[in-house]
Amino acid sequence: MTKSAYLGEFELVVMATLVRLGDAAYGMRLRRDIEERTGRAVSIGQVYATLRRLKGKSYVSTYMGEPSAERGGRAKRYFRLEAAGSEALERSRSMFLKVLADLPNRPA
């Protein structure tokens, strides 16, 4: 299996957040959810750069929502996980679970 067969840490976090948010997955919502769950500051640029990279791998696709008055008539760009992304997420999840399975509670 090649190095790119597994997701990087932040890619894994972004893709898991896409799954969790479902149809409500747009940039700022992703950023807020990631910050709340990880406890680390995340820039919107980090999120979008990662989404672009994942889109380039055909793991993620985008679509535009309806324009809204609250956004000055602009539409939100939403993101969704594609089949290849689901497979990559599961492959990485399984690998991490195997690696961590028999790890002692407190490393020496």
**pLDDT tens by residue, 19-48:** 999 999 999 999 999 999 999 999 999 999
Mean predicted confidence (pLDDT) in 58-83: 88
> Which parts of the chain fold into alpha helices (H)?
9-21, 27-38, 44-56, 83-100
pLDDT (tens digit per residue) in 42-53: 999 999 999 999
74: confidence class by pLDDT, cuts 50, 70, 90: confident
Query: How far apart, in Å, do the first and last CA atoms of the chain sit?
Result: 30
DSSP letters, 53-64, are: HHHHTTSEEEEE
Cα separation values, 6 from 9, 30, 85, 98, Å: 9, 21, 11, 13
44 near 77, Cβ under 8 Å? Answer: no
Was domain 7-100 assigned CATH 3.30.470.10?
A: no
Region 1-16: what's the mean pLDDT?
A: 82
Angle, nearest 10°, between helix axes 27-38 and 9-21? 110
Cα 68 to the chain's mean position, in Å? 25
Q: Which of 4-8, 78-82, 93-97 has the highest mean pLDDT?
A: 78-82
How far, in Å, CA of 6 to CA of 95, rounded?
Answer: 8
Per-residue pLDDT at 70 exceeds 80? no
